[in-house]
Amino acid sequence: MNSYLSISKEVKEALERGKPVVALESTIISHGMPYPQNVETALRVEQTIRENGAVPATIAIIGGKLKAGCTKEEIEYLGKKGQAVTKASRRDLPVLISRGEDGATTVTTTMMIAAMAGIRVFATGGIGGVHRGAQQTFDISADLEELAQTPVMVICAGAKSILDLGLTLEYLETKGVTVIGYQTDELPAFYTRHSGFGVDYRLDTPEELAAAFRAKLDLGLKGGMLVTNPIPEEYSMPKDVIDKAINEAIRQMDTAGVHGKQCTPFLLAKVKELTGGDSLDANIELVLNNARLAAKTAAALMK
């Protein structure tokens, strides 16, 4: 594995010295936002983690290497190349590595590479889940399977609201994944704070989050833990507005015949278009909010 995994000097030193490290995904850079906002946001997220006492480790696949910690130049490269970079899930890793190609890591592959490097906390925007209509399509994100088997705490703003949130929670329950609401009893729905669905437990401080995850690790229990952190109130979009945009985006996706790994980028782009860019602003703020909490939780975990 060492021949494939490349840990940056800063991240390696932090891990060796017992300093808190927070993993970050790269799909949000290549597929989640347009250039240059994607690069600007990625660097702001890294800076936010530093300001809150941890070391950022942006994760990606570059030239067939699993990178735990990207340089500013590598982030710029991923941002400029954009969707020409393969959106890399678990199934893609063997071919991308053997061919020496690039890959933007999803929640799944970020968890995998973080675990290989010894990083326990990961901040992202929203996780994937059970897609609407999955009863017919069987379209279920690999993120849920990874949460069931890889020992990384994922801090997010809930599942993306383009998904079937009820079925996503049912799937996570079946897989034994604890879903925690940070300072909330309700599952946040990415762009909005409210979904109408409850979480398994509410915890109110980074120290409580760290203690719960430490207990899981000490017990040797398989899998990760999902922390859902609501978007700040001032950036939360009205549920009826975002639901209307999502329903129209799904209608357009079905008409266009989009399926598989292209669904999420298509829907996010359409929702952005239908909301006049408000959804992109909300997306940036919720990622920064998750980064702050992840840094504080990682610091508490190291204590």
Q: Catalytic residue among 46, 67, 87, 160, which?
A: 160
Question: Which of 208-212, 272-276, 288-292, 293-297 comes out lowest in average pLDDT?
Answer: 272-276
Record the pTM. Answer: 0.92
Instruction: Kindly state the percentage of the chain with pLDDT values over 70.
Output: 98
Q: Who has greater pLDDT, 257 or 20?
A: 20
Yes or no: is domain 5-302 CATH 3.40.1790.10?
yes
The pLDDT of residue 132? 75
| 222 catalytic residue (yes or no) | no
Q: Is the per-residue pLDDT at 103 higher than 70?
A: yes
Give the confidence band of 240 by pLDDT, cuts at 50, 70, 90. Answer: confident
Which tokens belong to 125? 């925007």
pLDDT at 107 over 90: yes
Per-residue pLDDT tens for 126-157? 999 997 777 777 888 999 999 999 999 999 99
What are the residue boundaries of the structural domains of the chain, listed by start? 5-302
**25 noted as active-site residue:** yes
Q: Which of the following is catalytic: 25, 46, 74, 76?
A: 25
